[in-house]
Chains A and B, each alone.
Chain A
Amino acid sequence: MRRSLALSSRWTAILVVISALCCLFSPAISVKHENFKTCDQSGFCKRNRAYADTAAGTNNWEAPYRIAPESLSWKNGQLQGSILKTVNANGETVRLPITISFLESGSARVVIDEEKRQKGEIELRHDSKIRKERYNEAESWAIVGGLDLSKTATEDRGSAKSHVKYGPDGKFEAVITYAPFGIDFKRDDATQVRFNDRGLLNLEHWRQKIDKPAPETKEGEEPSPTPEVPAGEDESTWWDETFGGNTDSKPRGPESVGLDITFPGYEYVFGIPEHAGSLSLKATRGGDGNHNDPYRLYNADVFEYIMDSSMTLYGSIPFMQAHKKDSTVGVFWLNAAETWIDVIKEKEAHNPLSLGIGSKFETKTHWFSESGLIDVFVFLGPTAKDITKVYGELTGYTALPQEFAIAYHQCRWNYNSDEDVKDVDRKMSKHNIPYDVIWLDIEYTDDKQYFTWDPLSFTNPTGMLEQLDQSERKLVAIIDPHIKNKDGYHVVEELKKKDLAVHDKGGGIYEGWCWPGSSHWVDCFNPAAIKWWIGLFKYDYFKGSAPNLFIWNDMNEPSVFNGPETTMPKDNIHHGGWEHRDVHNINGMTFHNATYQALLERRKGEIRRPFVLTRSFYSGSQRLGAMWTGDNQASWEHLAAGFPMILNNGIAGFPFAGADVGGFFGNPEKDLLTRWYQAGAFYPFFRGHAHIDTRRREPYLAGEPYTGIITQALRLRYSLLPAWYTAFHEASVDGTPIIRPHYFQYPSDEAGFAIDDQFFVGGTGLLAKPVVTEKAESVDIYLPDDEQYYDYFTFEKYSGRGKHNIVAPLEKIPLLMQGGHIIPRKDRPRRSSGLMKWDPHTLVLVLGKSGQAKGELYFDDGETFDYQQGAYVHREFEFRDGVLVSSDIGVNGKLTEKFLRCVKSVGVEKILIVGAPKSWEGKSSVKIGGGEAGLEFHPEEGNKAAWAVVRAPKVAIGEDWKIEF
């Protein structure tokens, strides 16, 4: 208690200081909390939480849901039947069809619907014309495969339970209990995941509104709680709901769905981005260090968001992993409506039936969404890699980006003119700072009308794009979903004429406010709208665009300045008669998708990998491009927050992620900016960005020593691009995150489970811990094993499980190489990644304790889809017993040979061996086939490892070869 008191007073002091600072430097920087709902202000959240409290507070609580055994049928790996929900004391029930599918991939899926709504036997209020069913199309947006039913699953039905064996070698089992309904998912006979363990299953069945004589309430007065409501049925949040001056008409009444999911034996849960907080999710029902509100998923444009919060942000991925020593399991809650997730962590499982091995801990989660189906996938691992793979089979893997997209992006709101862009471009070259992409925020348009250029300041976009193209650089321009409502603007006129916009509850075209003022929103749920949108990007339509112009989709939550919670009213209507309520969290992805489709082929026959950055996202967005963490701030706290957020996104299937380097709001001090570039060099998506009111901060403006240090960080990124690209390739084929947290790489090492400020880069064995604190002189880096580690820059040695101190003055990035890996690099600095294409590689052999090393390299043309026909190089390098071998691990295709011919001149210029054996002392050459190459050996010096260099081995990167040491 005293501790917490002391803590809180310290917090108060910090807050005072912070707020004082804020007052000094800028208008108060903090999220406008009152703009966003707390659980208590969200009707269904309040109801479901109350339901959970009632259940917990009731002795022998029995959930009113049971399976009607006679309804069950098993076919082809699928169990179908009905759940009966008892709705009143008279025992009346409603029928809820349930389908449990066991999939070939080893995952299981449980879908629960409501018969009455399914059949349309309900009445809508307010003469609404919307659909009567629960939204059942989330699958068509999020899921792209992996739904094949298991051919080997078997059902064993009993009178009270049904047992289904499934999964690899039948090691998984689902035990379905009829009454009350519940499912235990087991792996190797141990329960890993339980449904309805706490009896919180809740599917609000349709009911008619019975108008009671409303108690007289004077205008402006809070309606007093009506005493005559039957106990347990608090109707106060069932019907029209008002927040922030906007009333939601809720024509279908209350329709939320909820379910508790327990992970017996699991202490850690990760995932469900996007939130600004730690990788390891916290408990959400109050208490010291915990959150008070559930984690919320309701995509929103949160202005100046705060740290360490369960508050919602711009995107949603309702996918969670639970982890304990040597086991990871996961659930995917496929629902596009507003969703909240309560997390409770308990030590000592109180449930005696819990069969989890060593079930000292138990994490209990409670998921509820405002509408739609209960549709949950369960993954039983046993590794995190298994889970991200299976999840990726369902929702798709990360699109393999064009190579430039993983290089450095220079952005600012705004570069003021085409001349300004050209000037920055020249200056970057002049200062020898590599960059690939320069960005334009909204000001490039003519009066915020997308697909136009400001006629005064962007008079020659083509000339600008041509200059960029000379050094293979690109331009990204912003295009948002709000279309300015202005007479004579061809885009809005077509949008209206073709009726492709989102509608309001009355059926008219919805009008709201965003950057351009009065605007309409293109409804990308509508296939016709997508088709139209694709047409807008053709070069002859979007005048001034060119093949090296790519797109940034912002504000696609959607952000509506005058809407409730800065977004659309929930009773707006989308294509197909679905309410915005049903589809909100998917909305951003549909817009991102339309733009992706548009960039595929802007000119007939010119098919390129699109690059589209999105702010809003959902499960599946990884197929379409990159995301960034939105409008952060130039503060050390925000710098530190970046990695946990990016790691969380990565394990949730969307690893192409980054935070704005430098911080969007505010002016970073030079040391902060420098540290941010050092951190950004490890963001999968690496972009510097700045608010319009901030001072210019292009890297060359910082001055020495900062500019030099920043350039080193940028060049580090560029020299490691072959390794990054290889990691992106891996993510694109099996969903493995690009930067990987400790629990993911070392599932047995309990001390590492909560670590989220250091990580591994792909499979390279690079362990990075960029400095994210002010005035740091050193960092403590944690080593998860006893392997030999080396400082990346100096080859200083570190070994032994546990923490090691690395001295890290401003110019130093704490970056270690783990023994046992081979890292591909390209060390020649160029203006852009495109100009590095023909440069030779450097291979870094980092020898481990065993004296062996292994690594991979993947590359292709970095631009087209030819790699799908084999136009790529995929090599494995292995060093053992004094021999380094390069072997092909790709699969040949139609275009393989052509590509290999094309890259024949690309070779290996140098092989660096870190931790070279002493026995090489005196050795001066290595054997390569018939010839040889020089070897230079440098003995150990103090704590610095011995190293050696193979000079110009003259081997081609795409060919088989062998080097004998």
Chain B
Amino acid sequence: MGALQSLPDEPEYRDLSEKTGFSFEQIGILHKRFKQLSHNEDTLRRDDLNTIPDLSCNPIRTQIIEAFFDKRNFHQNGEGTVQEISFEEFLVVMSHFRPPALDMTEEQREIIRREKLRFLFNMHDTDNDGTITLEEYRHVVEELLSRSGALGKETAKGIADAAMLEVASISMGHMEPDEFYEGITFEHFLKILKDIEIETRMNIRFLNMDTTNLCKVNRAYPDCTSLTKYTDKLLESCLWFGFGLL
């Protein structure tokens, strides 16, 4: 793995395609993107992802980047984090965002739902002990509100506490006053989020056409607040606007 070819390599791609479910064209495009991000090297590092300008405005940037380097997301029953990832691992992480096929049975949907929710769970459970503790949850909410300025920290705590209370109430029902709710386990997590239909929401569009040429523009605008950046990107992205709507 790691052949720097511009043409799709049939046997390797076939293997990846079976593993992740992407089509050959999609794998080809993602490979190009991988090479672009990693400056044509075989492996991707955190710094490479840090330089993506779109991510710099994102409040949960660190968690997203961490998720790519989290061994739990590689489907190999590993644990802990790595410093660099190969293309295969990149693809596996990306495959969490693939939409489910049209003709799936209920059990298959359930499996996909669990997989996606597992990804989310791993993002929250940073110390990998199998539960999301109050501290971890507070951290999540704080990061979400981190762009909202001063009142973020206080309210974040309150919101996280209320959310935790809700989970505890739904999952445990009744607890004695001196019992302690350790944290949200994966099963509880599934339970509270079963209504948001994650298998239809946690998807992005993977295109079959080549867009990496357009991404060169990313490099030119390091900051994310200038208006000219909007207009230029608007011009070149008209092509995707229609797709985006549908």
- Say whether A and B bind each other: no
Residues of B bordering A, CB below 8 Å: none
Residues of A bordering B, CB below 8 Å: none
